[in-house]
A and B are shown apart, each in its own frame.
Chain A
Amino acid sequence: MKYDIILAGVGGQGILSIAFVIDNAALEDGLFFKQAEVHGMSQRGGAVQSHLRLSSAEIFSDLIPLGEADMILSVEPLETLRYFDYLKPQGAVVSSCTPYVNIPDYPPVEDIYREIKKAPVHVLIDAEKLAKEAGSLRAQNMVMLGAASVFLPLKEEHLRKYIGVLFQSRGEQIVQTNLKAFDLGRQSAFQKH
């Protein structure tokens, strides 16, 4: 078994938190993983991405070769398109439909959706609405993780466990908000997929 994920978003949207949960859940599931992330200058409101590879055998490259990703998981729709070149023809696109507009030439969002829908397997999630429903706009990343969990070769209980670990220092209420965000994202993806 091998499962390669491109995680995408804008600096500050919390894609490394998604990665933390998947990494640790994978380890708990007895899988090998490697996850290349971006730090430093790009984190300041720029495009950020992370290559996350899961496998039952030893993984060599930290980077996913072009055309080999099983999933693009993105917290922002324009960022989803930036990495299409990495996706396998039958790979899954799990994308937020909530645009993060911090550039003057942001394309019309309908054009972005139309491009995303060209992927044979795609799920567009209203992360902003569901995060608000869960209790915090900041939880959009966990909504998206919930949506992706429908496809991921990982046990749901392990993902939930590490959401707890990730947020425990911020108190029980924050943990519950993020678990709810995860559940809402998961339900939404089930309905759409």
Chain B
Amino acid sequence: MKKVVLLGDEAVALAAVHAGLTAGYSYPGTPASEIMEYLIRISEGGKKFIAKWCVNEKVACEEALGVSFAGKRAMVSFKHVGLNVAADPFINSAITGANGGLVVVVADDPGMHSSQDEQDSRYYADFARILCFEPSNHQEAYDMTREAFDLSERFGIPVMIRLVTRLAHSRSSVAVREPREQNHKLEYGRWEDWTLLPVNARRRFRILLDRQKELKDYAESCPYNHLSLNQADHRLGVVVSGIAYNYFREVAKGLSSEPSYLKISTYPFPENKLRQLIGQADEILVIEEGYPFIERFIRGVMGIPGKKIRGKLDGSLPLTGELTPDAVAKALGLPKKTGLKIGEFRLAGRPPQLCVGCPHADTFKALNEALKDFPGSNVFSDIGCYTLGALPPYNAIKTCVCMGASVSMAKGGAEAGIYPSVAVIGDSTFAHSGITPLLDAVYSNTDMTVIILDNGTVAMTGGQPSYGTGEPLVRLLEGLGVDKNHLKIIIPLPKNHQQNVSIIRDELAYHGLSVIVARRECIQILGEKKRS
């Protein structure tokens, strides 16, 4: 078998191609971006399938659903909070069911390396009542993704692959298998399955409920849910899932005897295997990356009489942040190791920051100066590199919640009495989720100022294409009904500073809706263009 060096994300992408993918869709977001990056790289190498960045995750999920309707295999991938955006089609795709194989890949970010929360997507899979795979390593990421397509077609449901940052962004070698061809025939879904009128939806939901037993049977017999019993030692039983398994195996070498364990990598829960493990152990330790999902299931409200259950809920492991081999070693009662010490030396932190020469920096400087004349102002902002404008030396923004929220929150803020109420949003974030709230603001002629930082790319995640940039962005704004007299374009450069301050000041003073486009290309992208 051929071995290739891949990121966890790339292992999923390659597996999808080998499983006969017809189309993959995504919106950039750490730690999931490299799935689509890799699909695009393969497709540009001459493979005949679709690999597209979409305007947002909901659109991506629906496009994938359309492919599935047509009987072909589709994959949609995004970060955990992207699934919030796509939650509507995602949950309902479990009701329509999948025709061609439909795989939903979600990359969670425990520890919030690059995210605003650390929500656990396994709850979504449970909520939708579908199968979920949680690979622990690169080989499983590849194997499970291939299998997920087959299972999606066998059970007629979408299947989730749940990744976490440490696997998504870890590199290792993977043995790959012979590719399968795409589904060649167009096979349309039936209207009575896919038109979720109540009469159909009730029937479809019943079918999904009836299918749960098959899913449970599958998870029970699935070799990825592996039970290892140590008959000689009944003191401890360990339940591990996903990459927690790696930390457990890494440090368990230090124990006098290896405890019994159940590795869970496929959901719904393998209840019989769980009962077997719990039945023979005096104490249970649950180790999982993310929320205490399995632990709560096992514990229930009553606990298990006579058994001690340890994990995140009793403080044996931290409730927030990523697991580490050290945290798992501690939970297993192993001594803490330390390395070299740097003593009294004060280690200065080095947080991320805007690049030298970044256009956002010039916009923030001009905005800060213009706002000096307006006490009581507030700048609502959004998700992207410019969120770093919250930090010194800019201290320019006060909020960052979710994609597009700057525009809607600025409208709400204005309606609550904040003046000037300002929204600062990037071009791609605007295309993703800023257009609809701006339409709201146009219809109310809300007294607010929206600044769109148009650097022409999705910069934070590595420079993916933006679908709302340049002149088309201006035409879009005009089309939404933004007053041309209060639609301004500035070029954020140090030499334009005074002029930009004056334009921003005028629009802040105007009592109605203004939109200012601060247009200058991301210097990272500019640099790459020059180098290539």
Evaluate whether A63 and B325 lie within 8 angstroms (CB atoms) in the complex, with A44-B354, A46-B351, A78-B347 already known: yes
Complex interface: stretch among A111-119, A144-152, A178-186: A111-119
User: Are B353 and A63 interface neighbours, CB within 8 A?
Assistant: no
- Asked if B191 is at the interface (CB within 8 A of a chain A CB), the reply is no
- Bound complex: CA A103 to CA B350 (Å): 7
CB proximity of B127 to chain A, nearest CB, Å: 27
B495 touches A (CB below 8 Å):
no
Name the interface residues of B316-368: CB closer than 8 Å to any CB of A.
324-326, 329, 336-343, 345-355
Interface of B is mostly: loop
A60 engages B246 (CB within 8 Å): yes
The residue in chain A whose Cβ has the minimal distance to the Cβ of B249 is A60
Report if B34 contacts A (CB, 8 A). Answer: yes
Contact A111 B345 (CB under 8 A): yes
Interface centre among A35, A61, A84, A87 (most CB of B within 10 A): A61
Looking at the complex, which of A19-27, A123-131, A153-161 is the stretch in contact with chain B?
A19-27
Given contacts A44-B352, A103-B350, are A85 and B243 in contact (CB under 8 A)?
no
Contact A40 B339 (CB under 8 A): no
Number of A interface residues at 8 Å Cβ cutoff, please give it. 54
Which residues of chain B come closer than 8 Å to A10, judged between CB atoms?
A: 350
Cα(A34)–Cα(B347), bound, Å: 28
Q: Which residue of A lies closest to B167 (CB)?
A: A62
CB B243 to nearest CB in A, in angstroms, measures: 7
B114 interface contact, C-beta 8 A: yes
B contact residues around A42 at 8 Å (CB) = 113-114, 352
The answer to whether B339 and A34 touch across the interface, beta carbons within 8 angstroms, is no
B-chain residues with CB within 8 Å of residue A64 when the two chains form the complex: 325
Name the prevailing secondary structure of the A interface residues: mixed
B247 within 8 A of A: yes
* A118–B340 CB distance below 8 A: yes
- Chain B residue at minimum C-beta to C-beta distance from A85: B339
- B338 contacts which chain A residues (CB < 8 A)? 66-67, 85
Do A27 and B342 have beta carbons less than 8 Å apart?
no
B436 within 8 A of A: no
Say if the beta carbon of A47 comes within 8 Å of chain B.
yes
Residues of chain B lying within 8 A (CB to CB) of residue A118: 340, 342
Q: Does A81 contact B (CB under 8 A)?
A: yes
- How many Å lie between the Cα of A86 and that of B355 in the bound state? 30
Q: Mark A67-85, 1 if CB is under 8 A from B, else 0.
A: 1110000000011011011
Q: Shortest 4 CB-CB distances between A and B: which pairs?
A: A40-B30, A40-B114, A46-B352, A61-B250
Besides the contacts A33-B172, A41-B460, what 7 more A-B pairs have beta carbons closer than 8 Å? A34-B170, A37-B170, A38-B113, A41-B114, A60-B249, A61-B325, A85-B340
A-B contact pairs, 25 of them (CB 8 A): A11-B352, A33-B173, A36-B170, A37-B169, A39-B462, A41-B114, A41-B352, A44-B354, A59-B172, A62-B166, A65-B250, A65-B329, A66-B338, A66-B339, A85-B338, A85-B340, A87-B340, A88-B339, A91-B339, A103-B349, A107-B345, A115-B343, A118-B340, A118-B342, A119-B340
